[in-house]
Copies of this chain bind each other. A is one copy, B any other.
């Protein structure tokens, strides 16, 4: 009998993933993070779907770029561009739609409810009043107050768990931990993988220990491919979850084709395709049933994420209803 080539590809992905995790420096605070994830998922698991009160689901949102260290004592690294604007905005809309959110974000990237605030010197937003009380100029008072109040609400109600990362090693360990913790949620769990993850890395053990010398001549580097973890997430970590991944390209001619390939190859429910030139204004949702283009209406909307999350929440709840109907039909047959 001939070997199944897709099974062989799967096995090789799993071997590569295992090698990656063996090589990675272990996450600091791993136990604390595991505890927080377990507590968060358990608390919301009861309230999700099956007879529970009101929670639409639990979504794990990843956001920002990953860094790839080039030296063990890291001075230089390779980075992927991402402000984290999409992940931060989407977190706000998922919370508004009744989800609990695990927000896995790059340190320093945009935060939910902060994205309309100035980037560098928030001091420009504040003044001292006559009795040295802290004031915000009237022009910005509403946006700052709304931000503080919405953020406080999400934190106080325990609906937002924030977990930071910097390197590709930290990111993939956090994703693995969140996925396996969320596995118990079944199809009520959702992944919204908006982080810009590096495709290449230098294995920790083959990395320069000290700062690479710049004394003489050009620098030659060889980088390995990062294992395709979406494949493992789908197959092992949380196989029943609803999975949304992103595809960013600079060349529009190959974008949709690559999104279709990713959809099939990794068994995603949705691949959101976007171009670097206009990713803030247009995205295409690629699914097994076709494509839906979402365009920001400039005069009416601040961002494209509001519509996108609205459509994804609808798809996710239809997906849950369908799976529940299948489940009931099966039970009646038995």
Output the least CB separation between A35 and chain B (Å): 21
Q: By the criterion CB–CB under 8 Å, are B196 and A75 in contact? A: yes
The 8 Å CB contact of A77, one of B75, B79, B148, is B79
Q: Is A20 in the interface zone, CB < 8 Å from B? A: no
Give me 14 A-to-B residue pairs in the complex whose CB atoms sit less than 8 angstroms apart, sorted by A's number: A71-B250, A75-B250, A76-B198, A77-B78, A78-B79, A105-B120, A108-B120, A114-B123, A127-B152, A133-B133, A210-B250, A211-B251, A219-B223, A220-B220
Q: Decide: A218 near B200, CB < 8 A? Known: A113-B123, A149-B128.
A: yes
Which B residue sits closest to A80, measured CB to CB?
A: B76
Which 6 residue pairs of A and B lie closest in terms of their CB atoms, listed nearest first? Answer: A199-B214, A73-B250, A219-B223, A123-B151, A210-B250, A210-B251
Which B residue sits closest to A149, measured CB to CB?
A: B128
Which of A74, A79, A127 has the most chain B CB atoms closer than 10 A to its own CB? A79
Q: Is A14 in the interface zone, CB < 8 Å from B? A: no
Q: A231–B193 Cα gap in the complex (Å)? A: 46
Q: By the criterion CB–CB under 8 Å, are A77 and B81 in contact? A: yes
Which B residue sits closest to A249, measured CB to CB?
A: B211
Q: Is A217 in the interface zone, CB < 8 Å from B? A: yes
Q: By the criterion CB–CB under 8 Å, are B132 and A134 in contact? A: no
Q: Is A267 in the interface zone, CB < 8 Å from B? A: no
Q: Decide: A211 near B250, CB < 8 A? Known: A77-B79, A78-B79, A221-B220.
A: yes
The 8 Å CB contact of A128, one of B79, B113, B122, B152, is B152
Q: Is A119 in the interface zone, CB < 8 Å from B? A: yes
- Point out the residues of chain B lying under 8 angstroms from A78, CB to CB: 70, 76-79
Q: A122–B151 Cα gap in the complex (Å)? A: 11
Which of A136, A162, A214 has the most chain B CB atoms closer than 10 A to its own CB? A214
CB contacts under 8 Å to B, within A25-56, are none
Q: Is A224 in the interface zone, CB < 8 Å from B? A: yes
Q: A164–B120 Cα gap in the complex (Å)? A: 10
Q: A121–B163 Cα gap in the complex (Å)? A: 12
Q: How does the 8 Å CB contact mask read for A117-160 relative to B, with 1 for contact and 0 for none?
A: 10111110011100011111000010011011101100000000
Q: By the criterion CB–CB under 8 Å, are B145 and A134 in contact? A: yes
Q: A210–B275 Cα gap in the complex (Å)? A: 11
Q: A135–B152 Cα gap in the complex (Å)? A: 13
- Point out the residues of chain B lying under 8 angstroms from A232, CB to CB: none
Q: Is A225 in the interface zone, CB < 8 Å from B? A: yes
Output the least CB separation between A19 and chain B (Å): 14
- Point out the residues of chain B lying under 8 angstroms from A149, CB to CB: 128, 132
- Point out the residues of chain B lying under 8 angstroms from A221, CB to CB: 220-221, 223
